Structure 1
Amino acid sequence: MSDASISNPYAAPASQLQETAAAGQALSIEQALSRGYDFSIGELLSEAWQRTKGTKGIIIGGFIVFYAVLLIASFVLGGILGLLGLMSDNIALGLIGQMVTGVFAAALAYPFMAGINMVGIRRAADQPVTFNEIFSHFGRTVPLLVTAIVMMLLVYLGMILLIIPGLYLSIAYMLAIPLVVERGLPTWQALEASRKAITQHWFKVFGLFLLLGLITMLSAIPLGIGLVWTIPLFVISMGILYRTIFGVLPAAQ
């Protein structure tokens, strides 16, 4: 009998945990990090492509609505603050207006991206996917913003330190935002859970996202028409990776 079995006789076997996550059932963060996982880039992309059917309209529609709202709101807010700066002939006020507009845009962007991530995760777990999911996570704006800021600071610091640490963290933190939403983890726990999980197969995850990035860029060449297929492919691929590692909690009724 192994030491692990002696220390925790009620722990599920690793093979059982792998099957559970593969079926989309949720694992605890501790189980997910300790059991080990693996995936094939080709098989993951193939599954993601099959699962884009029925979700392209939701994902692309969500992006269109989001960018329309962001453009209008940023234009109006930026215009008002800029006008106030000109009227008062105060350069500092104009700079503050730009900062406020940037914070406002981020406050809209990260909950939206979290919603997009959740669409991919729910599709990967065969859970119901609705358009409302994309805009259902604005109640977590503060923890999402805090996580994004800490993540960016650490990545930028890593880039300063000979680039390689920053590249490592930029990939290792890819699942932090979904963990804040899907599991409700606080910032540091979400960052560390994502980092520890992805580090197990960092180069394979890097290869997956590099390939997805190339596919997405190439699809944008013919007037961006191909993005209708490749953006959902990217979103659902990320959802399948998340499901493979952590499993997915049942959708709230």
Structure 2
Amino acid sequence: MSDATTPNPYAAPVSDLQQPLGDQAPSIEEALARGYDFSIGALIGEAWAKVKGTKGIIIGGFLVFYLVLLAATFILGGIVGVFGALSDNLVAVVVGEVLVSLLASALAYPFMAGINMVGIRRAADQPISFNEIFSHFGRTVPLIITAMVMMLLIYLGMLLLLLPGIYLAVAYLLAIPLVVERGLSPWQALEASRKAISQHWFKVFGLFLLLGVIVILSAIPLGIGLVWSIPLMVVAMGVLYRTIFGVLPAAQ
């Protein structure tokens, strides 16, 4: 007679999306099945209340992000320029420039993932630090794949009468943090984000449209207001993520 606690070697494998992840956060499948809702005003209000203590970390993280993006673009652009000078093929040069733009953006995504995680941890009242910005290079390959697939699908959607691209640009907003916070594969993260946001796509679109207006207006007086509005946007995304998926306990 077999022990009831012995795993069944013939049992069907459990999907990564369906594994329970503790009492503090549902599995991805559970989060998608239970549904969610939020008020745009209440979400922004909560995010604003949590901005205190995040400004230095988030603004510093964005500075690092843009420096890396600038350096990658400069280096890769120089390489393409050399090959372009040696080649008479205009198509190859144009394709090379497009690839540089895509690759440079993708290489900076580990930093963006770290910034996203600062907002998510703040939304969940977990400890935050500047080190979070540099904590996700172990996921560089899946992050780059996620970013490139996401950009490719959005660009293709833009070519198809524009609306599919706008839909995907909003629907994929939470894919990057899903790769690092839940360890999902690129396609799992893209699909989980799309399925979740599609439940309230217009409300999420309205939320980030309003946040975008706030950021633009805050930039008018010499950009000083960006010190508050950019962290507000990051924390607001974290609150949205926590509302939909919950947040796993921070690693000790």
TM-score range, shorter chain: 0.7 to 0.9
Structure 1 position 164 matched with structure 2 position 192:
no
CA distance in 1 between partners of 2:111 and 2:48 (Å): 23
The residue type equivalent to 2:180 in the other structure is V
CA RMSD, 1 decimal: 2.3
Pairwise mapping of residues 182-193 of structure 1 onto structure 2 (< 5 A)?
182-193=181-192
Residues 1:171 and 1:100: Cα distance change in structure 2 (over 3 Å): closer
Pairwise CA distance, 1:99 = 6.4
Report SS of the residue matched to 2:131: helix
Tell me what 2:60 maps to.
61
CA distance in 2 between partners of 1:158 and 1:84 (Å): 31
CA distance in 1 between partners of 2:77 and 2:152 (Å): 26
CA distance in 2 between partners of 1:110 and 1:124 (Å): 21
Residues 1:113 and 1:52: Cα distance change in structure 2 (over 3 Å): same
1:103-155 deviations in Å (ceiling 9; x for gaps): 65234321111111100000000111010111111221211111112212222
Pairwise mapping of residues 55-204 of structure 1 onto structure 2 (< 5 A)?
55-72=54-71, 74-75=73-74, 78-79=77-78, 82=81, 89-90=86-87, 95=93, 101-102=100-101, 105-204=104-203
CA distance in 1 between partners of 2:72 and 2:165 (Å): 33
The residue type equivalent to 2:229 in the other structure is T
Tell me what 2:35 maps to.
36
Pairwise CA distance, 1:66 = 2.9
Task: Note if contact 1:107-1:141 (Cα within 8 Å) is conserved in structure 2.
Answer: no
The residue type equivalent to 2:201 in the other structure is W
Tell me what 2:26 maps to.
27
Tell me what 1:234 maps to.
233
Tell me what 2:18 maps to.
none
1:4-60 deviations in Å (ceiling 9; x for gaps): xxxxxxxxxxxxxxxx7xxxx311001101111111111110110111100000000
Report SS of the residue matched to 2:108: helix
Task: Note if contact 2:106-2:148 (Cα within 8 Å) is conserved in structure 1.
Answer: no
Name the count of aligned residue pairs.
228
Task: Note if contact 2:106-2:147 (Cα within 8 Å) is conserved in structure 1.
Answer: no
Task: Note if contact 2:218-2:226 (Cα within 8 Å) is conserved in structure 1.
Answer: yes
Report SS of the residue matched to 1:198: helix
The residue type equivalent to 1:244 in the other structure is T
Report SS of the residue matched to 1:252: coil
Task: Note if contact 2:181-2:248 (Cα within 8 Å) is conserved in structure 1.
Answer: yes
Pairwise CA distance, 1:78 = 4.3
CA distance in 2 between partners of 1:74 and 1:164 (Å): 29
Residues 1:70 and 1:157: Cα distance change in structure 2 (over 3 Å): closer
Residues 1:106 and 1:164: Cα distance change in structure 2 (over 3 Å): closer
Report SS of the residue matched to 2:161: coil
Residues 1:98 and 1:47: Cα distance change in structure 2 (over 3 Å): same
Unaligned runs of 5+ in 2: 1-22
Pairwise CA distance, 1:72 = 4.2
> How many percent identity over aligned positions?
74
Residues 1:187 and 1:47: Cα distance change in structure 2 (over 3 Å): same
CA distance in 2 between partners of 1:193 and 1:81 (Å): 36
Report SS of the residue matched to 1:44: helix
CA distance in 2 between partners of 1:104 and 1:196 (Å): 27
CA distance in 2 between partners of 1:158 and 1:76 (Å): 30
